[in-house]
A and B are shown apart, each in its own frame.
Chain A
């Protein structure tokens, strides 16, 4: 199975900050990566697919990039609603696998 490793595991930031989360795949997965946001006690919410395509209705302050084995999710100006846990997911190979998550917390 393809392993997805995110860094950092916890990120402390303030409203208005620019934050970047990194996800590394254990082998090349082209651009087959999605990113999700999960708030406590809620289901995940799709933000980005195909590494850089923004899902309908997702604010433009979110952006994704990368290809091969290294991918990033950037939030350009952190808003109060953005304090949550973020997961990357590869869908290059079966089974689809997720990163361990990055918790974005208030500094």
Chain B
């Protein structure tokens, strides 16, 4: 069965960086894109980043794009999110999620809809 297993909770000081991982299993990793979505305490979900796991193409939320990097290791079926220059506003739960994708005439496309999610990783930024 499809599973996304994320790394554990992190506590960081303001100005530091954090790198989160998301290991996929139960499907062919390079056939589906991966996203990162975060949720600040009591807030709505916020999409952050996308990576095409086959070719490495990326897309980011504009307001964080100078601080965030999404990457992947296809040999380990793992995606990563690195966020730098952390502030208290980055505190929240970070989820990785698989893109649902749709296929037409043997060509598949990212839908930017999220069909399987990791369990989430709490990142706390505090001095």
Contact = CB atoms under 8 A, between A and B. Distances in A.
B59 interface: yes
B43 to A, nearest CB: 8
Contact of A43 (B47, B95, B113): B95
Interface residues of B, number: 19
The A contact surface, by secondary structure, is: loop
B79 to A, nearest CB: 15
Interface residues of A, number: 20
Contacts of B46: 98
Interface string A15-56: 000000000000000000010100000111110010000010
A65 interface: no
Contact of B45 (A45, A89, A94): A89
B45 A44 contact: yes
B118 A95 contact: no
B115 A43 contact: no
Contacts of B97: 43
Given A46-B100, A49-B100, A94 B115 contact: no
B117 A91 contact: no
Choose among A95, A97, A99 the residue with the greatest number of B CB atoms under 10 Å from its CB.
A95
A95 B117 CA distance: 19
B119 A95 contact: no
Interface of A: 34, 36, 42-46, 49, 55, 87, 89, 91, 94-101
Shortest 4 CB-CB contacts between residues of A and residues of B = A43-B117, A91-B112, A98-B45, A96-B47
Interface of B: 44-47, 59, 61-62, 95, 97, 100, 111-115, 117-120
